[in-house]
Chain A
Amino acid sequence: MEDIFEVYGERLSSRLLVGTAGYPSPVVLADAIDASGAGVVTVGLRRTLASGGDNGFLAGLVGRLTARGVRLLPNTAGCRTAVEAVSLARMARELYGTHWIKLEVTGDEYTLQPDPWQLLAAAETLVAEGFAVFPYATDDLVLCQRLFDAGCQVLMPWGAPIGSGQGLLNPWALRTLRERLPQAVLVVDAGLGSPVHAAQAMELGFDAVLLNSAIAHAGDPVGMARAFGQVVAGARAGYRAGVMAPQAMAVASTPVFGQPMLEG
């Protein structure tokens, strides 16, 4: 059976979503996105907008991505209130002609942990305005349930704080989200450091992963992007194929019955 990944009515070819920050150069960034096979790319624009416009960096990237059918997912990184985030989302819709928005509202500067109350308020407003909202959330079940009820078909809980590369700090919470929100598209967003972490998220039954720093700050970002693309696809295939349950007792692959007994 075909493994269809559909988000807000759009069929996506890859279960890897990537960011665009912190790369060594625009060329490395574009090559890494190609190598990752990602079909969705997030772009931050708060600081660039505040600085009076793009210098060709975003325009060049956007042209290349849209020519390849890659979807843009503008984000509201750096916002601290619902009002700020909603206004930036509206600007992003104008600028990029997309109603997709990755909603980020920071509640704590040190951990960059989302502010649940502001996040939910912003999500409700944006859904009412026709946005397809991808909220960056904590792994709190009640928050995610409320966001889903508010019309967010996609939920993006963190694996660990942004950029920390610590992997899935609370697999139990993520597993609970999967069990309790079977209808939601679940994406682990943030905190992944290595392809192994992405594989773990896919094995928990998550629909996709979103990451930036693990690729951008790798020794070879293009090689790491390719690795993440391969591992996400492989881990998804493994999850669908049905991973056997672990047990304590060893089971020999080749039966020992019938082998000569060497004693004496």
Chain B
Amino acid sequence: MARVAIAGAGVVGRLLAWTLSRRGHAVTVFDPAPGAGPAADGKGAAGFTAAGMLSPLAELEHAPPEIARLGLRSLGLWRQIAAELSQATGEAACAFARFDDSLLLAHPGDGGAAARVLARLALAPDIGAPEALNTQALAALEPSLAPGLNGWRLAGEGQVFPQRVLPALAEACPASWRWGERVESVGPGCVLTVSGERCACDLAIDARGVGAALANLRGVRGEVLWLYAPGVALNRPLRLMHARHRVYVVPRPGDVVVVGASEIESADRSPVSVRTAFELMGAAVSAIPALAEARVLHMETNLRPALPDNLPRVELTDGLLRVGGLFRHGWLIAPALIEDALAAAALH
């Protein structure tokens, strides 16, 4: 049994704590958040703000195939984690994650944009291939869609529900959770908190997102909207292929629909801009006209932690593991990335 101290209770920190404590290790987690959540203030873990799409194939639009492969492996791991969370909490596994495919959509006038995205997806045929749907098949899957849209099914893709998964990972795991504790530094075998506590351990893990001590880490602004749309059927995550905007529309429990997301090279957490809100809402309504009468529940901004190559990094030295730079792929790739990192650290 190893003593492990983790700085940061985002997707990576909580998954690490969950995995390691289930393997019998003694885990302590430090995070400035007041508790396990859920949170929707954009101040804490980026995972709370993210839509939680598990969409390895669709991410090929702008990510290299290694991200898609990590995502593909993680899809299987998320099924397992959802089942374990279900067992631990008594809730149904589908309260944590669903695997009902995802759809790529394009308006007829945006055929060029769609062709570009589909060409990129075709560069990695081992990940999978989009299945073109005819009008009837598309309408059967998603009856609320605007008529005339073109659609492709990405079989096997899914989504997690961040507002439920993040709290459950903490609540259902026997780690020691030190909420309200901001970490000053993470060194080999030691986590030092701002309040002066020094936590000695066999392995210290830095999983602080944009706050991690990784060289050249930057925050990339992302903005999302939550809409309340009772009566609007939406069964799975949608991605609209458009010449200028990357927009997804994702169902959440309680008739909530999340629409996102901007990607702006600025470490700015200020509220959502009019331009972003306007573009996201416009795109969402163009795909699902009934969303025009949805109510805007909430808007949120957060920062994606990114390294210069926009790829994740796992740095392992004696007694110290740093995992970061998951950029826009935190939920998508975290389980596989963590599995690899723990194998490298020989924490079985």
Contact = CB atoms under 8 A, between A and B. Distances in A.
Interface string B204-220: 00000000000010111
Which of B116, B218, B220 has the most chain A CB within a 10 Å cutoff? B218
A255 interface: no
Contact of A219 (B120, B219, B220): B120
Given A24-B63, A163-B243, A55 B265 contact: yes
A47 B310 contact: no
A53 B120 contact: no
B265 A48 contact: yes
A25 interface: yes
B311 A52 contact: no
A140 to B, nearest CB: 24
Nearest to B301: A51
A62 to B, nearest CB: 12
Contact of B308 (A27, A47, A48): A27
Given A24-B64, A48-B266, A55 B311 contact: no
Given A28-B309, A57-B218, A51 B266 contact: yes
A223 interface: no
B53 to A, nearest CB: 19
Contacts of A50: 273
A219 B64 CA distance: 10
Contacts of B199: none
Contacts of B123: 219
A53 B264 contact: no
Contacts of B63: 24
A173 interface: no
A246 interface: no
B270 interface: yes
A67 B273 CA distance: 35
Contacts of A52: 266, 268, 270
B118 interface: no
A197 to B, nearest CB: 16
Given A164-B112, A219-B120, A55 B267 contact: yes
B109 to A, nearest CB: 10
B268 A58 contact: no
A168 B64 CA distance: 31
Interface in B211-265: 216, 218-221, 243, 264-265
B116 A27 contact: no
Interface in A112-164: 163-164
Nearest to A78: B275
A56 B308 CA distance: 10
B268 to A, nearest CB: 4
A219 B220 CA distance: 23
A87 B296 CA distance: 34
Interface string B266-292: 111010010000000000000000000
A55 B120 CA distance: 28
Interface in A20-42: 24-28
A171 interface: no
A233 B268 CA distance: 41
A48 B264 contact: yes
Given A24-B64, A48-B265, A51-B221, A56 B309 contact: no
Nearest to B62: A24
A6 interface: no
Contact of A54 (B120, B265, B270, B306): B265
A50 B262 CA distance: 14
Contacts of B221: 51, 55
A234 interface: no
A85 to B, nearest CB: 17
B310 A53 contact: no
A50 B265 CA distance: 11
B216 A60 contact: yes
B197 to A, nearest CB: 31
A51 B268 contact: yes
A93 interface: no
A217 interface: yes
A47 B262 CA distance: 11
11 contacts: A24-B63, A24-B64, A27-B310, A52-B266, A54-B266, A55-B265, A55-B267, A55-B268, A56-B267, A164-B112, A217-B116
Given A53-B266, A53-B268, A163-B243, 18 more contacts: A24-B310, A25-B309, A26-B308, A48-B264, A50-B273, A51-B266, A51-B273, A54-B265, A55-B218, A55-B220, A55-B265, A55-B266, A55-B267, A56-B216, A57-B218, A58-B265, A60-B216, A217-B116
Interface of A: 24-28, 47-48, 50-58, 60, 163-164, 217, 219
Interface of B: 62-64, 112, 116, 119-120, 123, 216, 218-221, 243, 264-268, 270, 273, 306, 308-311
Interchain residue pairs A-B with the least CB separation, the first 10:
A25-B310, A51-B266, A55-B267, A57-B265, A51-B268, A27-B309, A56-B218, A52-B268, A55-B218, A26-B308
